Structure formats: structure tokens, C-alpha cells
Structure 1
């Protein structure tokens, strides 16, 4: 997955360019000037994003001490800003633009129009995509800010430490602002399912610890000491934690408990007012297609049928010939030789294996790519305090200045969810040649405007990452690992089944239990793993369908090119063509592919 699945980052040169005064920038056009304005406004609204990008410097240095405004009033202001930006983008005379600029304009305009469709609903927030719930096991300041302060806020001097303290105070403000939105949404009968609130309260409880044990307090104290700063930063952070953050967290916990008392067990967003309209908007936003829920459901079933047949063949080669594909995969996943010990040492072994796979495939990629991303990448474990609600695996980008590598996180809460054959293909999806590959190439693409580099489309990003799993097989990563190939195929089947389950939950009114059992039966998932996945779809409607729909677009372009170009087909050239413009909506990607094929 990206933003966590939004791939943001770049090079030091990009930072310098983005931070340069306009007077120093050559050949500014109406389009580049507008993009600069929109980017600046975006950074001002989202100080956390500015820090992630390394752009909280110069005239924007004040952002280093701020967090985004999460109030009801700010949400209304953001909606108005989106509509105003759409008008400015639509006013650009496309006749004056180059072909590349037209694509850039189409992509940025698409992001604003998509945002406007979702912002038209007065409830909810964002996690990996549009969500009807402000706070859940995967969204909310309680869940994101501690990790952000610990891993993204740099401490190089006293000014950084002071800014950290101000952000810690702002954390309390974010909590209260989101609690007020929770209260407003509850009044409109927008309440997460009972099982989602149970997960959320569990994670909030883990965050509610004494100052001496709080991650955000320990992080500042440790890093300030390492820089030789004043010895009282930990104490100052502890006072803010005790007097501001914990009371705000308690108020949010109390509101979540009030909502839990009346919450239903219905899983899909069909149950909330306007839910039937929200789902198509969310589906369009995440997949960047105009397919209806019925069409997505049917597509998933068709893809799953084909993948089941392939997986059946591979499993029979391994001697697994009896029972359904799901039952045989479940049996394979229980084989002790494919499992790591359920201990911290076992989890460390799993992460080490993933990093070895990442290094192994990186050496093969120059044979099929014209360029390689110039960044370092590594695999880490999801912090234990957020494992309960975190996705199974996800990627985070490198920092703009290159000081932080691109990261791939694995949720190892239940180590038995991750046999070796599942770890390998997920490493390729989240790392190389998946998210980190396409994101890294976009970041080092000197032609792309920065506003395009920091944006993202799930259909493209997740579709590419799923294509990357296929490419790993094609370049020999499973040549001596037939069990790993089964892992790859079941991962593909999983994404087809996601289309079925997501639409099942939100359109066909499936229960959580039916959706969990579908994953268990169809692909042999452990109940714990299937449950965590289903819980994610319940709060992020539509996003799960973006993977297979995006993958099918990349494959369709490649198949069409092979048919038209025959012996002239060049895999390197294909990759360069579909990666040239960074992330784009899938209909734009199809246009790019058709034009490249026509030129070839």
C-alpha cells in the first residue's frame, strides 16, 4: 500500500527548487505558477506533509511547530478551497500547453475534483482514502501523531526540540477537534461498527500511559540528550502529556465509548445516511475508474476464477491435490518449515529475510528498467503499539533530503500470518519493484512538477505494485522457489477477492462474518489475518478494489503492445513509458499507453 501509501519525497535538488523564490525560477508559465500556488496552499494546510517533504524551511519554517487544523471550521474552509482551486485549474487554456503539461493538468485537476466529490459529504475523514469515520483503528490523530513525532520530526537543535513541544501541545488540540467531529457525526447517525470501535478503544488504551512510558515523551528526551541539548526537554514533554494530551485523549475515549454504546454490528457504509451515495464516490476516488459497484464485483469474480485455476495447477505440483484451493493454501501456511518462531527473535528473523529478498531483487532490476531509483530502502516491523489496527504491510517514502530511507513495514502481531512465501511477494509489492520503485523513479524525475510527485492515485500505485509481484515471478525470483510462486498467485487471488468483498460489504450488505469467511474459504487466510483485512475495508471503502483494477490496466497495455509490436516489443521501453509521468488516473494511463504503442 502508500501515505501511508501516498509516496512523498524527492531529492535535495528538488527541495532547493521547490524552496527557491519565484523570481529565481526560469521560464515560469501560468500552469507552473498555478501549481506553485496550489502546492504552497497545500503545505500551509498540512504542516505534517511539509515536514515529510523537508519543506518546513525558509518562509515555511513556522510549519515545523504546527499540526494541521482538524476542526469542523477547517473542514469547511478546505472544501471551499478545493472548489476555488478547481475553477483556477479549469481556467487554464489547454491550447497553450505541451502534451506533457496537459497530462500534468489533467492529473492535478482530477485530484481536486475527486476531493470535491468526497468533501461534499459533511462527515468522515481520511486514512488510506476517503473514510466515513473521523476516528477509527486506522485514522485519527491518536493513531498518526505519535509515530509522526517520533520518526518524522527531526531533532537537530534546540529550535527543533522547542518546535516538537509546540507540536505536542497541538496534538491535544487535534484530539479535541476530532472528538468534536466524532460527536457531530454521531448526532447524524454516522457511527463506526461496534467491532471497529472496540479496536479503536484498544489502541487508545495502549496510548494512554504515564508520561514516563509515553513514546512521544521518551522520543524527545532521548534525541535531545543525543544532541547535547538541555536536560529538561523530557520533563517539559511530560508536563504537556499529563496536562494537555492525556485529558484530551480521555475526552476522545469517553466519546468513543458513548458511540460504542449505541453502535450496531453492520459492517458496510450502506447503513449510514448518504452511505449509498458515499460508496460510489469513494470507489471512484480510490480506483480512478467510473465502474459501478456491480461491475467491480463481477470483475473480481472473473479474475478470481482464472487465478484459482492457475493456483490449483501449482499446488498439485507440490503434492497438494485434495480440497479447495483455499484449504490447500491454509495447509501450506501451517507447515512449520515456512513459519518463524512466535518471539521477538522470530520476528527479527522475518524482517531480516525480507531485507535479504529486497537486496536480491534489486540486483536483477537493471535488466528490465532503464533507470533505478537513487534511494536506500529497508524493511521494518510495525511498532507493537499500533499493530492491532494497522494494515498487514505498507510503504513509506524516503525523505526529500535523503536522510531517511524508503521504508516497508510488516505487521507481525501474529507471526503465523506471515509464512515465508507470503513475506517475499509482499516485499516485492511494497518495496522493489513495487511502491518504492515507482515512487522513487517519480521522485527523481526532473520533469515532473513537485505537486505531481507528492500526489497519488491508488489505482495506479497499487496496480503497479501488483504488477511488480507479477514481474518478480517473470524475472526469476521464484525459479527455485515453487512455494513462493504459490504465495505470489494467492496474493493475486487475494486482490481479486478484495473486489468481491469490498463491494459485498458496502453495496450488497454482507456481514463482517461473511466477508471474513469468504477470505478464509477462498484463499486459506487465517481468521486473524482475514479479520484485520476486513476491518480495514470497513473504514476505507473502495480502496481495496483499486489493486486488481489497476493491475489489469498495466497488463492490458503491455499485452496490447506485445500484440502490435511483436518482436520489437521492449520491456524496458514499456516500463519507461508507463512510469514516465508518475502516478496518473487509470484512464490517463490507458491514453499514455495507447499513444506510446502508436509511436512504436
Structure 2
């Protein structure tokens, strides 16, 4: 899974028209330009405006220097006015695209146009329909155990804000000051939502309040923001009283702002219900339909997605059962056998720092082995490297099992695959290869780094905008690893791969169950327990994730099924002329896009191959 800041920032990127420049002026161009040239010029202009207007994304791309150095001292505006400006950007972007004559576009120009035209129309209609939960991704509550400035900004400052000199350290402190401001901006938005009856479920509030306690437990001098700044300025021999100054901001501004935010959640806790789905909210059914469209870029209904999940679960469970029977393991359900295998001490790393270091070393070995195999399936390989890191301990309780952070465009920071090691028992060794192939290579890192390094598309198109494409690719990459033979002779590893797919199929069932069929949190957890054999604490974390991030979990398997269907349609049409490496290179060089746009692009590629 992509890290949340990447998802949020890249979705904002898709609409990045500058607040100080009108779309009409952005569209003015030389009359001699072709329609495709006008479109590409617009997208390039929008990318520059994005870097100007979203300081956190400028840092994520390594562009907060030179002409954009001022961005390094600021954070994105989380106030209601800031959110409304981002909505206006989509409206402006849509108006600009409506001036492009699509009938005059072909080839990659048509792909570039289709990539944003339909989705932006959906977004603008949603802004006119709903009064809550549309900061970027459809999330009904701005602050939960999974989202909010209180957890995203410390991670951002520690892992993405670079420090090479005193100016960078001063910028870090300025961002710490702004951190407190943005916390209060979010708190004010929470109060507005709460007054309208838009209150998180009780279990979400409880989990979130527990995270606040953990984050604010250390003294300001021992807070991660302070210790990180001290360690990095010491390492660079940058003179200054950095730790003292940072601790003063943490104690005097950040912690008080966090306490105000936590107090607002505690205030509405008695009013919270235990209902888990967004159906309980104003226009909840329509909101969920929009969330599904946002996640999948398709018109699939909740009923169709639910049925797809049930069908895939049945198929995958049967495949896992066959492998167990080969091993003479026939007792109990498939989930019970998977659970027993997950508890087998042979496959559990010690839950110690040494055991976690050993686990990460093994993941690095798996990446190196996969790198040797990649030329079998790809003609182009990314230049950017990928590192494996632990999810920060202070947020691991609410975080997913693994996620990926994009590299800087200038090569100053590699891609990063984060793994959650709160308890190594949640990561038996036979499950780890598949997670690595999904998050790193040939999954997210491979796809996103290639898009960033692409030369034939506008910079705006090189961003990992659509979850159905990027997460669909990540899941498809797991299948690709199996097709490359990584599990030959490793039946336990193949069981890990099948369980991963069962997990994504179960998500289709549970997400639609919660938000469409009105399942309780407990029913959803019971389904995961009975279907997957994964540890219950992991299932609880996952279900609570779906409760606050409706629809997102459906993008994985919907995307994977479309990736496979597109590939097999091309294979059938081309027969012996089908080249898997050319298929992958073509699909990945075009950047992320709605999944139906991928299908139509590959259909045109097939026609060209035939010709």
C-alpha cells in the first residue's frame, strides 16, 4: 500500500491549478500548437503550480530547493479555507480540460486527456453534494487512528524533510511551529463536523485517543521530532541549540494543540455510536457509492464488488486447501490450518530488536534475488533504489502491515518500503516474500519509480494518482512473482501468496459488508477471522481501517482483476506475437490512469502490434 501522504498529495496533484492564476489564462497558447501540445503544456504548467502550492509535496519530490526553497518552511493548509481552495482547483482544472477538443487527440495525448477528464468530473459533482469528508480521498472524518496531522506530520518531518545545513534545520523548526497551527485547523473542522452529527464510531475514538497518549507520553526533549533534529544536526556538525528550541515548540505549542484535539474527541465520545459504516452519515449511501467510484474508477456497484469478493474467496480457498492436502495437512478449515501455520514457531522471528533486524535483512535478500529475475518480465528497470524501514514505533499500533514511500525526483532520497514490526508474530516468514514483492519490486517501487523516470509523458502524469492502477499493480506483481517461479519448491511461500490474495478478496466482502450491507465491526472481524486465519489483532486493525477509509481497500483486487484481464485480452489477440516484456513496459511507461483507460490504451497498442 502507498503511504497515506503520498496518496493524498498525488490526488491533490491531479487538480493542481494555482490559486493565483486562472485556468483560462493557463489555457492560452500559440494558435499554431496542436491540441495535444496545448494539453501537455497545460499539464506541465499545472505541475509547476502544484510544487508552488503544496509545500509538503514539493518536499516529497525533492523539489523544495532553489526557486521553491520557501516551501521547505511550510506545511499544507488544513483549514476550511485551504480545503475549499483545493476543491476550487478541481473545478478550475475541469473547466480547463473542457476547452480541449478530445476529437483532435490520439495516442498518448488521448491517454493523457482521459486520465483526468472523467475523474475530475466525478470529484466536482461530489463537492457539490457532500459537506464532509472530501479533503482528498473520501474519508468521512479528518482525524482517526489512521489519518490526521498528529500522525502524518511527524512521520513526514522525520523521513522526508532533508537537513544539510542550518537553513534546513531552521525550516524544520518553522514546520514544527506550523504543525501546531495545522492541528488547530483540523480541530476546528472536527468541531464543525461534530456539530452536524458527523462523529466517528466509538471504537475509532478510543483507538485514536490511545495513540495520542502514546505520542505525548515522552517529555518534549525525548519526543521524536526533537531527537530526530538533534541526531541529524549533530551528524552534519551544524552548530546551534536545535534540540532545546525544538523541545520548546513541542512543549509549548505542539503538545497543547494535540491535547485540544484529543479533548474534542473525548468531548463527543459519549455521543458516538458503535455503528461502523458510513450509511449512518448524511447521504451515507451516496457517499459510499462515490467512494467506490473514487477507489476503482469504475461504475461497479457495491453488490457486484461484494460478489466478486465471495467468488474469489471460494476459488483461492480451494487452491490453498489443495496445497495443504499435498502436505498431509487436512484437519480443520483452511483458515484454521493457516492460523496453525502462522503460529508455528519455526516461522516466527524473535520479537526483539535482534529478531526484527534479522527479519529486515531477509527482506533485503528477497529484493536482491527478485532484482536478478526482473529482466525475464521487463525491458525497462528503474534507476531509483528502494530501502526497507520499520514503521515508526509511535504510530505502528494503528498503521497497516506495510506501505511504500515514493523516491525524490532528484535522486536525493530512495523509495522506502515500510514494514510494521509491532509484533513479529504477525509476520510469519512464509508471508513475507509476497509483501516484499507487493510493496517493493516488482510492485509499488518498480511501477512508481518507472513512472517518475518516464520521459514521454507530462510530469503531472508521472504521479501515482489512482489507487486502482497502483494497488492493482501491486497485487498483480504478487501474481507475477509466482509466474516467475519464486515459489517453486516453496509450498509454504505459495501459501503466503494465496493468503495475501484471500486477504484482498476478503476486503471486497468486508468493505461492502460494513458500508453497504450494514455489518457491525464485530461481524466484519469474525468474517476475517473465519476466512483468513490471520491473527485477530491484525484483523481488528484492518477492519477499523475500512471503517474510516471507505472503498480504498476495494481498489486492490478490482485493479488486479482488470490488469490480468487486460493482459490476457492482449495475449489472446496477439498470439505468438505477444511479448510480456513489451506489454509491461508499455503499460508502465504511460503512468497511472483509470483502469478502463489502461484497457483502451492497451487495446490500441494491440492493434498497432497487429499492423
What band does the TM-score fall into relative to the shorter chain? over 0.9
Q: Show the counterpart of 1:104.
A: 112
SS at match of 2:394: helix
Q: TM-score, normalised by structure 2?
A: 0.92
1:578 to 577, 580, 587: 587
Q: TM (normalized to structure 1)?
A: 0.94
CA deviations 1:23-59 (Å, max 9, x no partner) are: xxxx893223321332233333321001111222333
Q: Post-superposition shift, 1:157?
A: 1.2
- The within-5 A match list for 1:84-123 is 84-120=92-128, 121-123=130-132
Question: Which residue of structure 2 aligns with residue 540 of structure 1?
Answer: 549
Partner of residue 465 from structure 1, selected from 474, 480, 497: 474
Distance 2:204 2:163 in 1: 35
Task: Tell me how far 1:114 sits from its aligned partner.
Answer: 4.1
Aligned to 2:246: 237
Q: Evaluate the alpha carbon distance shift between residue 355 and residue 238 of structure 1 in structure 2; reply closer, same or farther with a 3 A threshold.
A: same
Which of 566, 569, 574 is the aligned partner of 2:575?
Answer: 566
CA contact (8 A) 1:406 1:436 kept: yes
- Rounded to whole Å, the distance in 2 between the matches of 1:77 and 1:126 is 10
Distance 1:365 1:553 in 2: 22
Task: Note if 1:474 corresponds to 2:483.
Answer: yes
Question: What pairs with 1:279-298 in structure 2 (closer than 5 Å)?
Answer: 279-298=288-307
Find the partner of 1:394 among 384, 403, 413. Answer: 403
2:545 and 2:126 map into 1 onto residues whose CA distance is 19
Tell me the residue number matched to 1:184.
192
Q: Which of 592, 595, 598 in structure 1 is aligned with 2:601?
A: 592
Selected match of 1:197 from 167, 192, 205: 205
Q: Indicate the SS of the match to 2:388.
A: strand
Distance 1:536 1:383, change over 3 A: same
Query: Post-superposition shift, 1:88?
Result: 0.7
CA distance in 1, matches of 2:5, 2:90: 22
Distance 1:592 1:484, change over 3 A: same
Residue 5 of structure 1, CA deviation: 7.5
User: Per-residue deviation at 1:296?
Assistant: 0.7
Q: Taking CA–CA contacts closer than 8 Å with sequence separation of 6 or more, which of the two structures ends up with the larger relative contact order?
A: 1
Q: Show structure 2 runs of 5+ residues with no match.
A: 11-25, 27-32
Q: Residues 62 and 412 of structure 2 are in contact (CA less than 8 Å); yes or no, is this contact kept in structure 1?
A: no
Q: What's the CA shift for 1:450?
A: 0.9
User: What residue in structure 2 maps to residue 31 of structure 1?
Assistant: 39
More displaced 10-residue stretch of structure 1: 314-323 or 525-534: 314-323
Give me the whole-angstrom Cα distance separating, in 2, the residues matched to 1:247 and 1:334: 43
CA contact (8 A) 1:6 1:454 kept: no
Residue 4 of structure 1 deviates from its aligned partner by 3.4
Which of residues 28, 53, 66 in structure 1 aligns to 2:74?
66
Among 422, 433, 436, the residue aligned to 1:424 = 433
Task: Return closer, same or farther for 1:561/1:435 CA change in 2, 3 Å cut-off.
Answer: same
Aligned residues, how many? 586
**What SS does structure 2 have at the residue aligned with 1:477?**
coil
Q: Describe how 1:141-540 pairs up with structure 2 within 5 A.
A: 141-208=149-216, 209-540=218-549
1:137 paired residue number:
145
Secondary structure of the residue aligned to 2:389 is strand
Paired residue for 1:18?
none
How far apart, CA to CA, are the structure 1 residues paired with 2:124 and 2:234?
A: 45
Does the 8 A contact of 1:327 with 1:524 survive in 2?
Answer: yes
1:520, CA displacement in angstroms? 0.9
Structure 2 residue 48 is the aligned partner of structure 1 residue 44: no
Unmatched runs of 5 consecutive residues or more in structure 1:
11-21
**Residue 491 of structure 1: SS of its match in structure 2?**
helix
What are the superposed Cα offsets for residues 310-357 of structure 1, whole Å, 9 maximum, x if unpaired? 111111112221221111111111111111112222122211111111
